[in-house]
C-alpha cells in the first residue's frame, strides 16, 4: 500500500462521512417530524396575517455586492436558502462570496491532486471534499451560534421578567435585553425591538425571531408570548417558568453528555484506528498490504470494509446523540 492509496482511502472515507452527515442535516432541517410539527404550529399562529404588508420595513439582503450577480442569484431558490443559512450563522459574507470561496477551495483540491500525482479518483475525492468544506464550516458556525443563543436565553428571559415586574412594556424589555445582554442573543432581541418600533406587530416580529433562530427553546419562547397575546395571562410568571424549565433541561443534558462521553470517545478511536493502523503498516512493511490493493478480491474487501465502517460510525454516533 503506497502513500497515494492511503490518501485515497482517507479522503474517500471523509467524503462518504461528510455526504451522509450533509444528507442527515438536510433531512433534519426540512423533513424531520419535529421540524414539521413546529412549522405547522407556527403556520397556525400566523394564519390570517399572510400577505399583509408591513409598511415596507423589511430589508432585502443582498446576495452579492454586484447588482447583476445579485439579480442572477435571485432567480434561484437555493441562493435564498444559502442566504438564510448565512444569516442564521451570523456570517457577514454574501452568497456570492460563499460560492466563490467554495470554487476556490475546489480548485485548491484539484491543485493538491495534481501535486500528489495521484489517480483521477484521488483528485475527484479531494476536490469534492474541499469544495463543500466552506458550506460545512458555515453549518458548524450556525450550530455553534444556535447553541450559544440557547444557553443565553434563560438569563434573557429572567431579565425580561424583572423588567416587566418593574413596570416596563414588553417591547422596552426586549430593548433592554438588546442593550445589556451579550452577543449573539443581544442582536436578535434588538432586531425584534427595531421591527416593533417601525410598526411591525409583536406577533409578526416574534415569528421572524423564530425563523432567524431555529432552536427549540426560542420557539417555545415565541409560542408562549404569542399565546399570551391572544389569550391573556401573566406573562411574567409564564416566562419565569419557561426559564426554569430550560435551566433544568440544560442540567439534564449536561449529565447525559457526561455519560455519553465514553461512547463518543470510543467512536472517535474506532473511526481513526483502521486508518492509523494501515498508515503505520504501510511505513513499516509496504509489501504487507500491497496485495490488498492490487488484487480484485482485496479491492472488493476494502470497499466493503469502508461501507460497513461508514454505517457503523453513523449508527454509533446516532446512539450517543441523545436529545433532551
Hey, what's the cell of 202?
409583536
Residues near 263 by Cβ (< 8 Å), separated by ≥ 6? 316, 319, 320
What are the phi and psi torsion angles at 117 (to 5°)?
Answer: 55, 40
Distance, in Å, from the CA atom of 284 to the CA atom of 280, rounded to the nearest integer, reads: 6
Report whether the peptide linkage leading into residue 192 is cis, meaning its omega lies within 30 degrees of zero. Answer: no
Q: Is the pLDDT of residue 56 over 50?
A: no
Q: Which of 157, 154, 139 is nearest to 214 (CA)?
A: 139
Distance, in Å, from the CA atom of 127 to the CA atom of 113, rounded to the nearest integer, reads: 8
Torsion from C-alpha of 244, 248, 250, 253, nearest 10 degrees: -160
Distance, in Å, from the CA atom of 150 to the CA atom of 152, rounded to the nearest integer, reads: 5
Q: Indicate whether this model's pTM tops 0.75.
A: no
pLDDT tens digit string along 205-236? Answer: 888 888 888 888 888 888 888 888 888 778 88
What are the phi and psi torsion angles at 143 (to 5°)?
Answer: -60, -40
**299: enclosing H helix or E strand:** helix 296-320
> What ranges do the domains of the chain cover?
146-250
Hey, what's the cell of 120?
483521477
**Confidence band (pLDDT; 50, 70, 90) for 47?**
very low
Q: What is the pLDDT of residue 308?
A: 84
Residues near 137 by Cβ (< 8 Å), separated by ≥ 6? none
* Cβ–Cβ < 8 Å for 216, 149: no
CATH class name, domain 146-250: mainly alpha
Least confident interval from 6-20, 28-42, 178-192: 28-42
Q: Is the pLDDT of residue 267 over 50?
A: yes
Amino acid at each position: 500500500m503506497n502513500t497515494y492509496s492511503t490518501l485515497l482511502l482517507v479522503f474517500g472515507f471523509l467524503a462518504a462521512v461528510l455526504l451522509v452527515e450533509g444528507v442527515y442535516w438536510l433531512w433534519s432541517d426540512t423533513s424531520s417530524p419535529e421540524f414539521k410539527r413546529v412549522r405547522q404550529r407556527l403556520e397556525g399562529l400566523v394564519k390570517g396575517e399572510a400577505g399583509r404588508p408591513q409598511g415596507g420595513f423589511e430589508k432585502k439582503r443582498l446576495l452579492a455586492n454586484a447588482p447583476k450577480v445579485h439579480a442572477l442569484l435571485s432567480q434561484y431558490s437555493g441562493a435564498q436558502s444559502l442566504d438564510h443559512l448565512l444569516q442564521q450563522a451570523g456570517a457577514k459574507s454574501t452568497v456570492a462570496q460563499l460560492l466563490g470561496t467554495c470554487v476556490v477551495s475546489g480548485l485548491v483540491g484539484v491543485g493538491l491532486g495534481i501535486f500528489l500525482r495521484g489517480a483521477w479518483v484521488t483528485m475527484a475525492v479531494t476536490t469534492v471534499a474541499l469544495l463543500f468544506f466552506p458550506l460545512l464550516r458555515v453549518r458548524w458556525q450556525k450550530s455553534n451560534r444556535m447553541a450559544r443563543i440557547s444557553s443565553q436565553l434563560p438569563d434573557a428571559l429572567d431579565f425580561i421578567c424583572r423588567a416587566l415586574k418593574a413596570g416596563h412594556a414588553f417591547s422596552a424589555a426586549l430593548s433592554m435585553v438588546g442593550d445589556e445582554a451579550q452577543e449573539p442573543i443581544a442582536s436578535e432581541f434588538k432586531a425584534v425591538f427595531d421591527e416593533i418600533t417601525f410598526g411591525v406587530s409583536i406577533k409578526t416580529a416574534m415569528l421572524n425571531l423564530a425563523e432567524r433562530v431555529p432552536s427549540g427553546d426560542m420557539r417555545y419562547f415565541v409560542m408562549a408570548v404569542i399565546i399570551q397575546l391572544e389569550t391573556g395571562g401573566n406573562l411574567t410568571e409564564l416566562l419565569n417558568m419557561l426559564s426554569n424549565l430550560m435551566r433544568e433541561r440544560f442540567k439534564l443534558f449536561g449529565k447525559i453528555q457526561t455519560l455519553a462521553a465514553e461512547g463518543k470517545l470510543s467512536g472517535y478511536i474506532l473511526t481513526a484506528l483502521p486508518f492509523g493502523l494501515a498508515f503505520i503498516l504501510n511505513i513499516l512493511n509496504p509489501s504487507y498490504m500491497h496485495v490488498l490493493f492490487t488484487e480484485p478480491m482485496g479491492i472488493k474487501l476494502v470497499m466493503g470494509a469502508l461501507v460497513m465502517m461508514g454505517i457503523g460510525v453513523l449508527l454509533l454516533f446516532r446512539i450517543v446523540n441523545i436529545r433532551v
